[in-house]
Amino acid sequence: MKTILLYNIGQLLTMESDGPVRGKAMNELDVKEKYAILIKDGKIEAVQPESELIDVDVDEKIDCEGRLVTPGLVDPHTHLVFGGSREHEMALKQQGVPYLDILKQGGGILSTVRATRKASEEELYNKAMFHLDRMASYGITTIEAKSGYGMDQETELKQLRVAKKAKENHPLDIVSTFLGAHAITEDYKDNPEALLDEMASMFDQIKEENLAEFVDIFTETGVFTVEQSRRYLQKAKDKGFGLKIHADEIDPLGGTELAVELGATSGDHLAVTTDEGIQKLANSDTIGVLLPGTIFYLGKGEFARARKMIDEGAIIAISTDFNPGSSVTENLQLIMSLAALKLKMTPEEIWHAVTVNAAHAIHRGDVAGQIKVGRKADIVIWDAPNYMYIPYHYGVNHTNTVFKEGKIIYKRGGLLG
Ligand code: NIG
Ligand code: FE
């Protein structure tokens, strides 16, 4: 029975909310000062004014020295498990070769598919654990992880099993998504429907082995059409999976509208969603997961119209989209800066988007994204004087101490020597 008291906190964001936070309410942030947090056996025992807790007898007292304290961050869209890397594509990007052209030529996602098929389960596992450690260092305590670099049964299952094993052995919480419908491989070029049938035939096994909670698809020009996506996702829904869509990333095909129509948990990217799509999103419970790192990294295209989405009442989360091609970073803090600079989101909106709303986008609203009595003590102490500082000072790591279930999993070290 270990008890820890966090005291001398500067600003405390608990992000307490009964549900996801939408529209204008995203801009209202409750900032507590002179509060302390009592942790008992990895759970939050009390969050009260410091004067009420400071004399409680505990095993360890941690002086936060006036720093900002928040819930652990939640990253609701990552492609965690993959083989190889794609640094050779950077020159093509610089020459202006479009992302979808690289894919059409057998590169892009398909190049990672080849590397992932070749990699052993152990290699993929070690690589995933490495990236998870880095995510933890950036203050992330819960993530979603997609498959999608197999597009054959064997490799998709290999990816999902790696994610499951990582979940068992890494302190971070991982929520799995089956993205078997991520691209069209050479052998299915003339018959994408057959690839979708092949992937849908795995739904039962994935359910039985508890390998994924969500099913996702890349609805895009040259990949899967809205009609194909609808049929595929409907089958997944009938089997009891939560739904996600890579929607309206490059061409506005209507993936956002489809996400709303099917009652998807989230529609992701939404960079080129139409006015009508935004209105539908705003009137729905589907969460818009925006990925500004991808647009920044691809070097072209539009940033999602977050302002319009939020102003019209949508529920918005943000994420790294960590993957080896279109957004190669585990740094969700950098994405918070891009959300401020490129999506014009306020710091208050951004904190909702990486905590409570991100947790709801992966069905973890009841366990992650908030500092609340009875919950796991997933907490970050930041080297920052206030919550606005994190998006402001960009590109670096501001974490001082990261707790997962009350255990310190990362601590900023001093310089050696
Ligand atoms: O979310 N757009 C599709 N999928 C990923 C990219 C995957 C890749 O390029 O390897 C995304 O951007
Ligand atoms: Fe993605």
Q: Whose CA is nearest to atom 6 of ligand 1?
A: 326
Q: Whose CA is nearest to atom 12 of ligand 1?
A: 326
**141-174 pLDDT tens trace:** 999 999 999 999 999 999 999 999 999 999 999 9
Which tokens hold the place of 41? 């056996």
CA of 325 to the centre of ligand 1 (A): 6
Q: Residue 58 is which amino acid?
A: V
Q: Average pLDDT of 252-258?
A: 98
**1-21 pLDDT tens trace:** 799 999 999 999 999 999 999
Please return the burial class of 137, using the count of CB atoms within 10 Å of its CB with bins 0-12, 13-18 and 19+.
Answer: middle
Report the residue among 326, 328, 335 best suited for mutation to probe ligand 1: largest number of ligand atoms under 8 A from its CB.
326
* DSSP letter assigned to residue 304: P
Q: What is the mean pLDDT of the chain?
A: 97
**47-76 pLDDT tens trace:** 999 999 999 999 999 999 999 999 999 999
Which atom of ligand 1 is closest in space to residue 179's alpha carbon?
A: 4
**305-362 pLDDT tens trace:** 999 999 999 999 999 999 999 999 999 999 999 999 999 999 999 999 999 999 999 9
Of the pLDDT bands very low, low, confident and very high (cuts 50, 70, 90), residue 300 is confident
Q: Average pLDDT of 116-144?
A: 98
Q: Average pLDDT of 252-269?
A: 98
Return the ligand number nearest the Cα of 249.
1
Statement: residue 233 has pLDDT above 70: yes
Predicted local distance difference test score (pLDDT) of residue 417: 61
User: Which residues have CB under 6 Å of ligand 1?
Assistant: 79, 108-109, 112, 218, 246, 249, 294, 321, 323-326
Report pTM.
0.98
Which atom of ligand 1 is closest in space to residue 321's alpha carbon?
A: 1
Which atom of ligand 1 is closest in space to residue 250's alpha carbon?
A: 2
Predicted local distance difference test score (pLDDT) of residue 301: 85
CA of 118 to the centre of ligand 2 (A): 22
Predicted local distance difference test score (pLDDT) of residue 414: 67
Of the pLDDT bands very low, low, confident and very high (cuts 50, 70, 90), residue 415 is confident
Q: Average pLDDT of 245-267?
A: 98
Report the residue among 75, 77, 78, 79 best suited for mutation to probe ligand 1: largest number of ligand atoms under 8 A from its CB.
79
Cβ partners under 8 Å of residue 76, min gap 6: 143, 144, 266, 289, 317, 319, 358, 359, 361, 362
Closest CA to 184 of 84, 78, 110: 110
Q: Residue 136 is which amino acid?
A: A
H helical segments located in 186-331 = 192-200, 203-208, 226-238, 255-261, 275-282, 292-298, 306-311
CA of 43 to the centre of ligand 2 (A): 32
Buried b or exposed e, range 46-75, using 16+ CB within 10 angstroms: ebbebeebeeeebeeebebeebbbbbbbbb
Return the ligand number nearest the Cα of 182.
1
Report the residue among 75, 80, 182 best suited for mutation to probe ligand 1: largest number of ligand atoms under 8 A from its CB.
182
Closest CA to 327 of 377, 278, 397, 271: 271
CA of 178 to the centre of ligand 1 (A): 14
